[in-house]
Copies of this chain bind each other. A is one copy, B any other.
Amino acid sequence: MTKQIVKVSSKGKWEEGVRTTVHVRDFEPIVLDEPEELGGTDVGANPVEYVLAALSGCTSVVISLIAKELDFKYTDVEFENEGTLDLRGLNGVEGVSPHFQTVTFKVTIETDESDQRLEELKSEVIRRCPVYNLLKDAGITLESPWVKKEPVHTK
């Protein structure tokens, strides 16, 4: 199968201190900042928080895609993630990665499907999700429990 290349892009501008505004297509600008204790004005999430948001959003897209392929029915999904960083990396200490040491990523999915079917969905999502694999390929210790929640059925 020949390559199916797509391009994505963004343009950004430093505003002041550690605050930056980024434009993607015609959307409202994305504002990235840092909390005051890290020298920012705290008017937007920080860059690594946006990476965590991208991880959830991307997993959501891929769940939708693969659920269609598998005819897997679900009625709700919630995402919670947490990353740890060792600031020594950012501060220049040799041998310490400046990005995530670990990321835990819990996916709670409301479905009547069996555990086996859920496992099938999960393994395919994890194999094909762009942002998940970005973190995995970067050598981050990733833990991702998927939890099933039974839908409430009314009689």
A residues with a Cβ closer than 8 A to B are 1, 3-14, 17-20, 22, 24-25, 27, 30, 32, 34, 38-40, 44-58, 60-65, 76-93, 97-101, 124, 127-131, 133-135, 137-139
- Residue contact A12 to B57, C-beta cutoff 8 Å: yes
Number of copies: 2
Contact of A80 among B11, B51, B54, B64 (CB under 8 A): B11
Contact of A84 among B7, B57, B131 (CB under 8 A): B7
- Residue contact A128 to B46, C-beta cutoff 8 Å: no
- Residue contact B52 to A64, C-beta cutoff 8 Å: no
How far apart are A91's CB and chain B's nearest CB, in angstroms?
Answer: 8
Q: Complex Cα distance A51/B152, Å?
A: 36
Q: Complex Cα distance A138/B142, Å?
A: 14
